[in-house]
Amino acid sequence: MKGILVLILAAAVGYLSYQYVYPVLATYVKFEKKKAVAVAPKPEPVKKPVVVVAPPPMPKEEPKPVMEAPKPAPKPMVVEAPKPVVDPNAFVPPPLPSMADLTRGWTVIPPNAFKPARQITLKRDLELSLRMGANTAKTSVKAGGKMFAVGHDSHGLIVAPSPESPMRGVVALDDTDLKESLTAWHENWKVGELARLKKAHEYRLAAVEAAKNAPVAAKAAAGNDKPTRDKDGTYPLLVASMKSGQVTEIKLDTIKEWGEPVLEGDLWKVNVKYETMTMFGKFDTEAQAQIKNGVVQQWIYTGSGEVVP
For residue range 179-191, list pLDDT tens digits in order.
999 999 889 888 8
What is the 3-class SS of 175-219, one letter each residue? HECHHHHHHHHHHHHHHHHHHHHHHHHHHHHHHHHHHHCHHHHHH
**What pLDDT sits at residue 214?**
55
Q: Determine contact, residues 261/268, Cβ cutoff 8 Å.
A: yes
Residues 211 and 72: their CA atoms lie apart, in Å, by 59
**What pLDDT sits at residue 123?**
92
pLDDT over 90 at 76, yes or no: no
Domain range summary for the chain, segments of one domain joined by +: 101-173, 183-301
pLDDT over 70 at 35, yes or no: no
Give me the amino acid identity at 300. I
For residue 299, how many other CB atoms are within 10 A of its CB?
22
Give the pLDDT confidence of 217-265 residue by residue, as tens digits: 444 445 578 898 988 889 999 998 888 888 888 888 889 999 899 898 8
* Backbone torsions φ then ψ of 154, nearest 5 degrees: -65, -20
pLDDT band at 175 (very low <50, low <70, confident <90, very high): very high
pLDDT band at 30 (very low <50, low <70, confident <90, very high): low
pLDDT band at 279 (very low <50, low <70, confident <90, very high): low
| Alpha helices by DSSP H, the chain | 2-16, 22-29, 99-102, 178-212, 214-220, 236-243
Residues 274 and 254: their CA atoms lie apart, in Å, by 5
pLDDT over 80 at 147, yes or no: yes
Across residues 195-206, what is the average pLDDT?
Answer: 77
Across residues 110-137, what is the average pLDDT?
Answer: 86
Across residues 129-153, what is the average pLDDT?
Answer: 87
Give me the amino acid identity at 16. L
Across residues 60-83, what is the average pLDDT?
Answer: 71
Q: Which residues contact 236 (CB under 8 A, 6 or more apart)?
A: 228, 230
Residues 244 and 237: their CA atoms lie apart, in Å, by 11
Query: Higher model confidence: residue 9 or residue 207?
Result: 9
**What pLDDT sits at residue 120?**
92
Q: Determine contact, residues 277/253, Cβ cutoff 8 Å.
A: no
**What pLDDT sits at residue 220?**
46
pLDDT over 70 at 32, yes or no: no
pLDDT band at 174 (very low <50, low <70, confident <90, very high): very high
How many helices (H) does the chain have, and how many strands (E)?
6, 11
- When mean pLDDT is compared across 58-72, 120-134, 277-291, the lowest value belongs to 58-72
Residues 238 and 274: their CA atoms lie apart, in Å, by 13
Q: In this prediction, what percent of the chain has a pLDDT beyond 70?
A: 73
**What pLDDT sits at residue 24?**
60
Query: Higher model confidence: residue 133 or residue 19?
Result: 133
Q: Determine contact, residues 270/238, Cβ cutoff 8 Å.
A: yes
Question: Helix, strand, or coil here: 55?
Answer: coil
pLDDT over 90 at 3, yes or no: no
**CA nearest to 139, candidates 117, 169, 174:** 169
Per-residue b or e along 266-298, where b marks 16 or more CB atoms closer than 10 Å to that residue's CB = ebbbbbbbbeeeebbeeeebbbbbebeeeebee
Per-residue b or e along 56-67, where b marks 16 or more CB atoms closer than 10 Å to that residue's CB = eeeeeeeeeeee
- When mean pLDDT is compared across 12-16, 39-43, 248-252, 274-278, the lowest value belongs to 39-43
